[in-house]
Structures are given as structure tokens and as C-alpha cells.
A and B are shown apart, each in its own frame.
Chain A
């Protein structure tokens, strides 16, 4: 009765995604270092960091929700990952479509917010406020980019999106969808929490925002969550704009390409303040998004 092949695939993919997510984080740090003419940490540094955090002798907690927040965030990231078609591994992707995945990719944010709020720290609260405002701000262009994709291909199903693109060429080769890609890429920067939209954590400004109180195994959970989320989001980008992939290597190349664009942008732009970010999102990306949507009608 139980589909053992699927079970093995799920387990294998989770391990692979977590590992590669950590490597992506390492690549990010390495690339940033190179851009600033530093050597930087080894590429597997985030794994060491996480293991160190897991090895702490004691963690502190502020109550049940404080613990539940990071767990919920990681759980939701894993759930989102399972519904994305990853190269040949389709896992559960036939059972949920683009809207579901787009929503699931946002749920972890709520988990982090939930935990951060229950710590009662004012820095966390400021971080939560900024996080939610970023979300409100980016939601409109984000939605428009997704709508453009759906309208052009006429389907919500991720598997069909992939096969349509493999038959008829990648999304970004369509001019209207190229515009949508630009919009999505701007939003993507905020989704990954990179400059100029790293307003949520804003290190040096509000001492890591929501994560300020987290240490020990909670921080390790959040690191893992970030790794899985990074993998899922880059894969999502590759699936909807870059035609998915037929094998994991191809997927990896596309993911890293997407990641590098994000890193290059992040390393030369300073941070927006939150009201600037809101106004920015409601101006250029929204206009571009509307144009893209109208072109695909």
C-alpha cells in the first residue's frame, strides 16, 4: 500500500535540499566576501555554524509559542518544498498548484513572527512590524507576476508549467513574462531577505530583528529553515520562469544562477527604510507588473 519509492524520494530530497540550502548560504557568504576582496569562510561554514548551535548545552525559552514558532516555520518550509516539482522528482507536486505553493512559501514568515512576538523583545517587535509591512508591500507586485505567468500559460499546475515550458521555450523568452520576471526578481530579493530589502533582520540597525532572542537550538532550527527556504524559493523561481529542469544538475545550475543575481544586487545596494520600500514596491514593480499582466491578457 505504502509507496516506498515515494517515501525514499521524499527523504532523499529533504536531505539533499537541506544540504544544498546550506551550501547556498555558504556560496552567498563566499561570494559576498570575494566582492569585498576578502577570502571569506569555507563554503560549508553554515553547516558548522548550525551544528555548533545544536551542540549548545542549554537553551532558554519564553513559553510554548516561542518554541513552536521556529518549529512551525521549518515545518511549513518543508511542506512547501514537497509540493514543488524538483527536476525529475515530482513528489507531491501534482496535488497542489502555484497558488498553494506561493502561500506555503509565505507561511514560514508567520511562524518566525509568531515565535519572535512571544519573546516580548522590542527589537523583535520592530522586526515583526517591518517584516509584515514588507510583506504587505511586496504582495501586489508578487501577485501580479504570478498572475502574468498563469495567464500566459493558462494553467495553475506547476507540473504543466514545466512541461509547457519544455515544449515551447522558457517563460523568460516571452517578452511579457520577461517583465514579470524582473518584477518577481525584485520581490525575490525581499523574499530571501537580502539587501536592499533586508529590512526584517536589518543587522546593525535593529540587532537581527525577529531573531534577536533566539539562540542555541532555536537558532539552529531557524538556520535550517533558512536553508530549506532558500532551496525551495530558488527552485520555485527556476520552475516558473526558467523552465524547470530535467535533472538535478540542471536545476542546480539554474538555482545558482538565480542566487548569484540576488547576491550581486545585494552586495552593491544599501538598505531601504521600510516606508521607502513600501513606496518603491507600489511604484515601479507594480507598474511593470500591471504592464506584464495586460500584455498577457
Chain B
């Protein structure tokens, strides 16, 4: 009898390998879909078990004991990932034409599930690397430069983590989470690990998880990697894989929260280390948000937006209060479903039009009404319109940020949500409305599998929006206490309330009244888009009436000073300098001159002589 946890983790990988090996059109899609659906099915089956007890499984490989556990928290993350994974598989059935994509997409799915379920650093790191490698392979096929940027940063992150694990292992002698946690807890009072070492471990983990979460200034890989791949895969890449970083921050709390508190102390009443995380999150929200507004490419816009939204999660975790964790965990779910939906919509647009630039698109709402409706749900959820899932989670983060007495961080979220409004409207305007370029006249609605994938993600947006209590009830169980009160439709915190159902009802009442006024008025006549006011002048089809380029030019001008500095350019320059240095080193040392090599020998001998060896 194979353990269920092993099935959950490795089903996608096995399906991916079979799909890759068979490579028969139709069959590989079916196998891939089954492989993607299995984890969700098993997680669903284990739901009631997890609430009462943990499910454990250990296996010894090459002398290491890998320990997997399904507890309330890992179940939550795994369920979110597998929901997005299933939607991705449906999307890929339409957009992907090669078995290569299936292999690596499903491999990264396995990696992500393994990261969430691992209870020791061996399994965690192995599957973390598998996840990185597979996602790199998805990008490298389309763009070498962007993929290498992603890979180098990921490797820096991963090896920073390896060093941190090494130090922890040297200090505690353990690799499994439970023992490390216990050892560090005890050490907080003894102080065998010095403050500097603790800070070093913290910094290394921060780098490792910051890269995956796309925290500023380690976000530069995200716009390239998110856009230069199959957009259906990006659903998973940005919807679930970026959560591995967020999960890492949570792990940091679980493993060394108390030790970090003891070592680094507090800063104006906040935990110092948490305060750092909160500010990284706040800066990420604002910087990535502004960059998203100024993009001219649909994929780049959503890439930056994804970075910005993950910033909310980090920020919420950084607040350090249980309400903050509840908000962050809720946002993990809502970001996964709305951003996954966005990427599927993008996949549909790119599949049907073959274009990615805003300047080439417009007026697609009439051609792809269902995709448009899904896109609208995603827009409303992301910009936090009650009653959708995005609002409920943001509301919790607002409450938590202000209650935790971090007003400037809370101010950053206010700014961030205003920016989010601006960039989603840019997307709506440029893609769906206005004049349709003549070469888009024969665009058709997205294919059925893609639409199913969208529906899978749209339903949670609506369901958890109207009934956010379903999620918070589970989060309460995860956090072990009544953090967010209320019932299915009502969220209650110590300071505020939000009744999603009543807001929905009020909105429906309002819409009904407005609709009645509309119906009372005279009948309407539909006219063409070009039949419009142009200072009283006639307009024909040749005029381009839609503003498709540089839509937010005044903002770019207002931010002129800040846009002069770019992390992207900084890293490019750093890479260039390293390359030049390597070049000059090669030319200086390996110069082909026999006499220089004998001089090296002489110098080494001299050193040895001085050392007293000879």
C-alpha cells in the first residue's frame, strides 16, 4: 500500500513523465489532467482527517530520512496549489502543443507540493530545487536571457538557503523541522547561537525566500520569467509557485520565530525581524505596483502586479499578529485564484490573437464575451471590490496592519490598492474596449478546456467573496484559536466587522434600483464605436480613437526622478562587471607565457618556504 502523501506529491510528476514518454496528442492531455487532478482529489479526501490529526509519512533515501506531513497548514497551501494546478492543466490542454511543457509543468507542480508537505530540510531543499529547475526549463525554451536571469537569482537564493541549513545543522545537529524548532526554542534562553549568527541565518533565509516570492529588490526575474513562458503555466508559476516563498517566510516564524525575537529584540514595540519583513512587503507592494502601471505589455503588467500582490502577503506576515497571519493566509488563497484567473485570461487572449502588446489590441469584449466576463471577475477581485475574495483578504490585512500600529505600512497598502485600480483598468481599457483593430475581426472565443480552467478559478473568487467565513473558519483551526470570528458570511475582528452577504444584498438592492431607473427611461439604440463625439467632427474607421500607448504618461512624468533608478539595470551592470572581471582574470592568469607559469611556481614555493614547510 503506497502512502497517500506520496501519491499526492508524485502523481503530477509521474503523469508528466508518462505524458512526455507517450507524446500522443490527446492522450498526453488526458494523462496530464488526471495527474493534476489526483492531488486535489486526495486532499479533498483527507480534509476531515487533517482537521483532527496529522498524516505522516517517512522514507529513508540514501541515508537521509525524508519526512512528509499533512497538517492543517500544509493542507491549506497544498490545496491552493492543487486547485491552481488543475486549472493550469485545463489551460495547458488548449495552449500547449508539446509534451516537453507537460513534463516540466507537472514536475514543478510536484516540487511545489513537496515543498509544502516536507517536514525536514532534506526533502524541502530537494523539492525546492526540483521546482526551480522545472520552472527554469519552462522559461528557457522561449527566452534564454530571461531564463538565465531567473536561474541565477534562484540559485543564489537556493544556495543561500543551503548555507543557512548548513549553519543550522552545525549548531543543532538536526535536519527535521520539529527538532530544529525545539533546539532553537531552547537556545533562545541559553544563547549558544550568537546574535550575529542568528542574524546571518535570518538574512540568508530572507534572500532564499525573497527570491521566490519576488520581494523587491530580488524581483527582477519575475517580469521576464512570468511572461516568457506558456501563459497557462504562468497561472501556476505566479499563482502557486510564488507561494512557496510566502510559505518560506511562514516557516521562518515556525522554526526560529522565538529565537529571532530573543536575539534581535523589538523595535518600537514590534518584533525587529517581523518589522523588516513587513517593510520589504510594503515596498514591494508600492514599487511593483507603480512599475505595473507603466507597462505596455499585457504579460509584463500582470507579472509586476503579481509581485505587488505577493508583497501584500509578506506584509501581512510581517505584522506578526495572529490577525496578520489570518489576512496573509487568506490572501494566499485569493491571490492564487484571482491571479491564476488573470493568467488564464491572458493565455486565452494570446492564444486567440497572437499579440501581447496593448497597442495591438482593443474591442475584444464582443468577440470573447465569456473570457471577458472571467477577466472582469478577476479585475473586481484584484482591485478589492466587495463582495469578492480579493476584498475579504485585503480587508483583513488592513485591519491587521492598523491594529498592529504600523500606520505607514498600512498607508502603503492604501496606496497599493489605488495603484491596483489603475493597472487593472488599463488592462480592461486596452484589451476589451474601444475600437477593434481590423486584423482582430475574426477572433473567436477561447477553446473549451481553457474556459473550464477559468471557471474553476472564478468560482472560488465568488464563493469565498460572499462567504469568506468558510476560509477564515479553516484559518482559525490552523492558527489554533478564534482569530477571526463570525460565521460563514460575516467576518468579525476585535475592532471591526464585515458582513459579505449583507454587502452583496445591499449591492443587489442598489443595482435593482438603478436598473429600474434604467428600464423606466426610453429605449436604447445601439451605435457603432466610431459613431462618437470627436469635437463635433465626423470620424471614420481609419482614425485610431483608442489611446493604446503610454496611457499613464503623466504618472511616468511625475515619477521621473524615481524611474531613473532601476534594479534591473543595476543587476545587468553587475553581471556585466562580473563577466568583464572573469575575462580579465582569464587573460591575466592564463596568458600562454611559459615564463609566467614558472613564476607562479616560484611564488608558491616562496610562500611555502616562508611558511616553514620546506
| A interface with B by C-beta (< 8 Å) | 10, 14, 54-63, 65, 67, 70-79, 82-83, 92, 94-100, 103-104, 106-107, 110, 113-114, 117-123, 125-126, 128-130, 132-133, 135-140, 142-144, 146-148, 150-151, 154-157, 207, 212-213, 216-217, 220-221, 224-225, 273-275, 278-279, 289-290, 293-294, 296-297
Contacts and interface: CB of A to CB of B under 8 A. Distances in A.
Interface in B375-433: 383-386, 391, 395, 398-399, 402, 405, 407-408, 410-411, 413-415, 417-419, 421-422, 425, 428-429, 432-433
11 contacts: A72-B514, A82-B509, A83-B503, A99-B399, A103-B386, A118-B365, A122-B546, A125-B547, A278-B555, A289-B411, A297-B407
B496 A97 contact: yes
Contact of B518 (A71, A95, A275, A289): A71
A154 B365 CA distance: 45
Contacts of B267: none
B509 A79 contact: yes
A58 B515 contact: no
Q: Which 10 pairs across A and B sit closest by C-beta, in order of nearness?
A: A143-B414, A217-B521, A139-B418, A156-B496, A78-B510, A75-B510, A75-B511, A95-B499, A97-B496, A74-B514
Contact of A155 (B385, B496, B510): B496
Contact of B545 (A14, A100, A120, A290): A120
B272 interface: no
Nearest to A121: B532
B415 A150 contact: no
Interface stretch (B164-172, B352-360, B456-464, B522-530): B522-530
A146 B398 CA distance: 11
Main secondary structure of the interface of A (DSSP, over half): helix
A140 to B, nearest CB: 5
Contacts of A274: 554
A56 B521 contact: yes
B506 A79 contact: yes
Contacts of A156: 399, 402, 493, 495-496
Contact of A58 (B391, B405, B509, B525): B525
Interface residues of B, number: 77
A151 B421 contact: no
B490 interface: yes
Main secondary structure of the interface of B (DSSP, over half): helix
Given A59-B525, A83-B503, 18 more contacts: A14-B513, A54-B520, A61-B526, A70-B514, A72-B514, A75-B514, A75-B515, A78-B514, A79-B507, A96-B499, A123-B533, A125-B434, A138-B418, A140-B411, A142-B414, A144-B411, A213-B533, A296-B407
Contacts of A106: 421
Nearest to B515: A71
Nearest to A143: B414
A151 B402 contact: yes
Nearest to B518: A71
B558 interface: yes
Contacts of A96: 497-499, 502-503
A100 B524 CA distance: 35
